[in-house]
């Protein structure tokens, strides 16, 4: 009988501590939202020249943030790379794996799925989610990864963990989804990979200055 009473008391204490913690988090004065500079990302980086594509209204509503960069960049050969950055602060619901959007339309198929590593410079290598999507006769190679604060990672769950951890620690909880994509021309997947890599080598080093 005493053992059951002890277990009951311990359970009550744990629930009380948890309830007090939730109350504390809800009563805290929220940190002010910073003015993200992602919309000012350069349109000329290295040999790449770009233009901004305004996001559709329903995309802003779904993601819960208007800090969305959609850029179409071209190299001197006329090859295109699409660069997307979704920035969110205080709302981790702004991020989700891009394949949900690709496949959700019903006319796109996921052909290949893996992790890749892209060497940015001698000191920096980024692990990215690599996807190939087929829409009709067109194939597209997509790399995407996440940020939570200054941390860079491929895993969505890992980003969400750090986002919540920063909230609990009363740090500025901010994050980003970064995506680069290009068409696979004449079945040349390697060429598409190199094209994305070349663009990332120019864009990734300066990206933190705009988050």
Asked whether residue 71 falls in the same domain as residue 150, the answer is yes
Asked whether residue 194 falls in the same domain as residue 138, the answer is yes
Asked whether residue 83 falls in the same domain as residue 66, the answer is yes
Which residues in the chain land under pLDDT 70? 1-36, 59, 62-64, 90-96, 104-106, 169-173
Asked whether residue 160 falls in the same domain as residue 109, the answer is yes
- Region of residue 71 (phi > 0: left; psi between -120 and 50: alpha; otherwise: beta): beta
Asked whether residue 61 falls in the same domain as residue 104, the answer is yes
DSSP alpha helix (H) spans, the chain = 2-27, 57-63, 99-104, 156-168, 189-203
How high is the pLDDT of residue 26?
47
Asked whether residue 18 falls in the same domain as residue 52, the answer is no
Asked if 70 contacts 186 with a C-beta cutoff of 8 angstroms, the reply is no
How high is the pLDDT of residue 201?
96
Range of the domain at 19: 1-30
How high is the pLDDT of residue 95?
64
Q: Tally the domains of the chain.
A: 2
Asked whether residue 50 falls in the same domain as residue 23, the answer is no
How high is the pLDDT of residue 188?
96
Asked whether residue 17 falls in the same domain as residue 53, the answer is no
Asked whether residue 139 falls in the same domain as residue 202, the answer is yes
Rounded CA separation 173/92 (Å): 8
Asked whether residue 18 falls in the same domain as residue 102, the answer is no
Threshold 0.75, pTM exceeds: yes
How high is the pLDDT of residue 149?
83
């Amino acid at each position: 009988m005493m053992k059951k009473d002890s277990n009951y008391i311990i359970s009550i204490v744990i629930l009380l501590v948890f309830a007090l913690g939730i109350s504390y988090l809800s009563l805290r004065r929220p940190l002010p939202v910073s003015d993200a500079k992602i919309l000012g990302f350069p349109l000329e980086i290295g040999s790449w020249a770009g233009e901004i594509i305004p996001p559709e209204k329903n995309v802003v509503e779904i993601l819960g943030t208007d800090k969305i960069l959609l850029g179409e960049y071209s190299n001197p050969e006329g090859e295109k790379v699409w660069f997307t950055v979704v920035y969110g602060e205080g709302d981790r619901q702004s991020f989700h794996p891009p394949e949900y959007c690709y496949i959700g339309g019903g006319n796109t198929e996921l052909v290949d799925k893996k992790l890749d590593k892209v060497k940015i410079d001698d000191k920096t290598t980024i692990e990215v989610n690599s996807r190939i999507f087929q829409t009709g006769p067109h194939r597209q190679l997509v790399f995407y990864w996440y940020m939570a604060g200054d941390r860079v990672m491929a895993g969505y769950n890992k980003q969400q963990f750090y986002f919540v951890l920063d909230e609990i620690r009363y740090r500025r909880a901010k994050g980003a989804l970064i995506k680069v994509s290009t068409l696979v021309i004449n079945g040349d997947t390697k060429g598409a990979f190199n094209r994305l890599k070349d663009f990332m080598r120019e864009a990734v080093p300066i990206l933190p200055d705009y988050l």
